[in-house]
Amino acid sequence: MQDNHEEYPEEFVAGLEWMWGDGFMSPGGPAEVGAILEGIDLTGQRVLDIGCGIGGIDVLLAKEHNAAHVTGIDVEPYLVERAQTLVTQAGLNHKINIQLTKPGALPFDDDSFDIVFSKDSIIHIPDKRAIYSDIFRVLKPGGRLAFSDWYGSDLPQTPEFKEWLVVVGLTFDMGTVESAAKLLGDIGFTDIELEDRNSWYAKNMEEELATLQGENFTKLADQLGEDGATQRLNSSTLKKTVVDQGLLRPGHIRATKPTLF
Ligand SMILES: C[S@@+](CC[C@H](N)C(=O)[O-])C[C@H]1O[C@@H](n2cnc3c(N)ncnc32)[C@H](O)[C@@H]1O
């Protein structure tokens, strides 16, 4: 996925929300956000959400998970505008701050957040060591990192996988969830927990494809046009193949910044 800041135009986002629910640009909805945060209580915590997209998750973190304050950052102006509108509509401007940022260093002081959260966004940041180190820096000692991301595997690449990489514009190695966890450990994180979500997503893909077929396809085509809906269906069909081949594997990671920092 290239870093051109126009990767998620309006029509594309509409297709993602169609599959995954209003306000969400990644799969699983509130239940998957809850699974990422398993064992972490956000009550009274200051949270940073990296790659907040259109803000559905930030509203959820403030409203349902009782975060004291959420800062959602994203690099795309259209998404930030949508997120801001959603926050205002939810009456949560006092609890959620949406910020347009530039790729690169996080624009926050050291030890600013209790929790750093992210869902399916770090894949866009090629320099993992830099972003994980910066997350470590902005977390308070004892703070928790909880995120999900798209990972690859060590299996040989199939023609379908290579085609899927082209369709989604991925130009760099996703790495594995294990390599991400190792890097976090090298940086200084402790209590690292990881979870491979490939089998969960393989099941979820059935539901995702159902939102794009039959009557649903016709409804989506009314919204996006025939070409837009066909593109969405083709992309998800190809993705199901690479998920079933075990080459695309969503994963969750939780880790702690030790207190002696
Ligand atoms: C798949 S979307 C996920 C959005 C949201 N987390 C969700 O699950 O609904 C990935 C997001 O990462 C954002 N993004 C890409 N590069 C980024 C960067 N360097 N810093 C912050 N966000 C970034 C994209 O603009 C996009 O909103």
Name the domain count of the chain: 1
175 ligand 1 Cβ < 6 A = no
From ligand 1's centre to the CA of 238, what distance in Å? Answer: 22
Q: Is 51 in the pocket of ligand 1 (CB under 6 A)?
A: yes
2 located within any domain: no
Does residue 211 form part of some domain?
yes
pLDDT, tens digit, 9 for 90 and up, residues 27-64: 999 999 999 999 999 999 999 999 999 999 999 999 99
* pLDDT tens digit sequence for 74-127: 999 999 999 999 999 999 999 999 999 999 999 999 999 999 999 999 999 999
Q: Tell which one of 12, 80, 121, 236 to mutate to probe ligand 1, the residue whose CB is within 8 A of the most ligand atoms.
A: 121
Cα 120 to middle of ligand 1, angstroms: 7
Residue 261 in domain: no
**Is 59's C-beta closer than 6 angstroms to any atom of ligand 1?**
no
Q: What is the pLDDT of residues 205-231, one digit of tens each?
A: 999 999 999 999 999 999 999 999 998
The CATH number of the domain holding residue 33 is 3.40.50.150
Where in the sequence is the domain holding 230, given as residue range(s)? 10-252
Cα 205 from Cα 208, distance rounded (Å):
5
Distance from Cα 56 to the centre of ligand 1, integer Å: 12
- pTM strictly above 0.85: yes
Does residue 214 form part of some domain? yes
Each as own residue / partner, the long-range contacts of residues 84-92 (CB below 8 Å, 24 or more positions apart, any chain) are: 84/55, 86/23, 86/54, 86/55, 86/56, 86/58, 86/59, 87/55, 87/58, 87/59, 90/59, 90/63, 92/59, 92/62, 92/63
- Residue 5 resides in a domain: no
